[in-house]
Structure 1
Amino acid sequence: MTEPDAGSADEPTEDADEPAVRRAREEVIEAMARAAEVYGIKPSYGRLYGLLYFADEPLSLDRLADESDYAKSTVSTATSAMERYHFVHRRSIPGEGKKAYYEAETDLWHVFQQLLNQEVRSEVRIMTRALDEAAETLRDADSERAERDLQKVEKLQGVYEKADRALTVLTSSSLDRITDLFGRLRSGE
């Protein structure tokens, strides 16, 4: 009995799977573009992220422009924004000079943690500082209005204190640990 050839009808070849693979990949990339819109981000950002996500190697701006059919300026703007939010990383390739290459961050929990650490924690710091100063001013004032406003400010202080604690847990724990914790909370353990 002989072994079937690598390209026999019994075993699909990579080429035979290509149209199906391309369709599946495109479906996910289009979903990423639509998902970007949900967050008020241009769909081009989601599409470019998707192209990088499925790329086997870092891609240059030129290659991303070719593969996406977007202008190089659009690709440059998008990759800069995605880099700021940790969705992509800029890489240099030896022998390519200063030419920039990009690759997707595939650990989306890491991206989420970075966004929480940078953007949300920044908001918490700004608000905490303002609320502390306002509370001090209102405590020194002697009026009914100041007392009512102080109660509102103290309520907000409580919210931001809890938010800060939640941020600490979310940014210092793995996704598995967080989901395990939520699972135990739901089941009442």
Structure 2
Amino acid sequence: MGSNEESKLEEARQEYIESLSETMEMYGLSPSMGRLYGIMFFHEDPMTLDEMRSRTGMSKTSMSTGVRALSRLKLVHKKWQKGVRKDLYEAEHDQFRSFVEFFAQQWEKEIQINRKALAKTEQNLKRLLEEEDISPETTDRIRKDLEKLKEAKRYYAWLERMVDVFESGKIFDLVSIPEDTE
């Protein structure tokens, strides 16, 4: 393919790459990570960090940080190729799988963080209830807070079930993947 054709191809891909950049930012990732993922998404072969850096203009440190973050989210995978000594990476092309893994991972973190905080808050509130010099108004407020925490626990139990539905693939029984969009 000539350089003019290559340039036109890159230009045609740019709209989607930029939309990935915006989308990644919506989910708390940097726009540069979205651009990096987009470039890798369209690239035919696994890429080295040097190849990525030359395509994105990112610094080596930013590139390495971005690839590690994308790998953690399972949007990029390390590949092995016989005779190649440098690390190679390629984008995950199964966006359904990426979606499931990304959200399940985020929800699991949310559950872990908040369940621990809920337990500690509940323990502190119950300890306050045991104090002798607490006013009836404060006792009432504590009881209402404990009810709110009970509802929060229900939410995290539901979210845990949601993660199971995603990770087991049952989500695709409930919301099927379209055969073709053309």
TM-score category, normalised to shorter length = 0.7 to 0.9
User: How far off is 1:70 after superposition?
Assistant: 1.9
5+ long unaligned stretches in structure 2 = 131-138, 178-182
Is residue 96 of structure 2 the alignment partner of residue 100 of structure 1? no
Mark the structure with the bigger radius of gyration: 1
Structure 2 distance, partners of 1:93, 1:149, is 57
CA contact (8 A) 1:109 1:175 kept: no
- Counterpart of 2:91, as a letter, is A
Structure 1 distance, partners of 2:62, 2:121, is 43
Partner of 2:101: 114
Structure 2 distance, partners of 1:175, 1:21, is 35
Query: Aligned to 1:145, which of 141, 145, 149?
Result: 141
- Counterpart of 2:53, as a letter, is A
Is residue 174 of structure 2 the alignment partner of residue 178 of structure 1? yes
User: How far off is 1:138 after superposition?
Assistant: 4.5
Partner of 1:163: 159
User: How far off is 1:17 after superposition?
Assistant: 6.4
- Equivalent pairs: percent with the same residue? 29
Aligned length: 167
Partner of 1:53: 41
- Counterpart of 1:104, as a letter, is A
User: How far off is 1:166 after superposition?
Assistant: 1.7
Structure 1 distance, partners of 2:46, 2:83, is 14
Q: Deviations over 1:94-126 (max 9, x none)?
A: 2222x1111001112222222333332132133
CA contact (8 A) 1:135 1:154 kept: no
Q: Deviations over 1:20-52 (max 9, x none)?
A: 533221221122222223333221111110111
Is residue 55 of structure 2 the alignment partner of residue 67 of structure 1? yes
Structure-2-length-normalised TM-score: 0.77
Using a 3 Å threshold, how does the CA distance of structure 1 residues 132 and 104 change in structure 2: closer, same or farther? same
Structure 1 distance, partners of 2:120, 2:22, is 42
For the aligned residue pairs, the C-alpha RMSD in angstroms reads 2.7
User: How far off is 1:178 after superposition?
Assistant: 3.3
User: How far off is 1:57 after superposition?
Assistant: 0.7
